[in-house]
Structure formats: C-alpha cells, structure tokens
Amino acid sequence: MSIKNFSNLFKQAQEMQSRMAEIQQELARKTVEASVGGGMVKMTANGLNQVLAVHIDKDLINLQDREILEDLVLGAVNEIRRKVKELSQDEMSKLTGGIKVPGLFPS
C-alpha cells in the first residue's frame, strides 16, 4: 500500500469517526416513546438508551396489584429498548449506506 493510499484511508477513517460522533449527538437529542397497558405505563428515552421519563397512570397505582405494575413496567422497558435500537440502526445506516457492519449495532 502506498503512502498516498494509506493517507487517504486514514483521512476516511477520521471522517467516519467524526460522523459517528455527530450521530451520537443526534441520538442524544432524539427521543422515542413507548406505551403499554392501554397507556397506563408510558416511557420516554433518548437514542442513547437513557430513560428520560416514566409515567404510571394513577388508576394503575390505585389497583394495588404489584404484579400487574411490574409486568407493565417490564413491557414498557422492553418496548423502549426495541425502539431505541431501531432508531440507532436507522441513524447508523445513514453513515454506512445501509451496509450492515458487524458489531456496530449492539443487541
């Protein structure tokens, strides 16, 4: 590999790293919402998988049924994680041009 080719490859790697940092910043600003139990439990998270808000309907709390509440919170967490993963994959595919890069999209 010539020095010129290596230099171009290094430049492309730097550009990709810079773009990935931009995507991470974009993901931090974007949010997704999940709602389960007919809206009784709602969650909001950003694209970095940080839960920003949780809302539990007062009627659900008044039921005093811990198992129902636990099941709905678990469902909301799983749904929000699925949506964040989808958002992250959509944003990263912009960088890769739709090519699946092993290890780039954590499960």
Say what the pLDDT of residue 37 is. Answer: 94
Reported for 34-38, long-range contacts at CB under 8 A and 24+ positions apart, including other chains, are: 34/76, 34/79, 34/80, 34/83, 35/76, 36/72, 36/75, 36/76, 36/79, 37/72, 37/75
Q: Using CA atoms, how far apart are residues 34 and 84, in angstroms rounded to an integer? A: 10
Domain spanning 3-96 has what CATH number? Answer: 3.30.1310.10
Say what the pLDDT of residue 107 is. Answer: 47
What residue ranges do the domains of the chain occupy?
3-96
Say what the pLDDT of residue 79 is. Answer: 97
Say what the pLDDT of residue 56 is. Answer: 94
Say what the pLDDT of residue 38 is. Answer: 95
pLDDT < 50 regions, the chain: 107
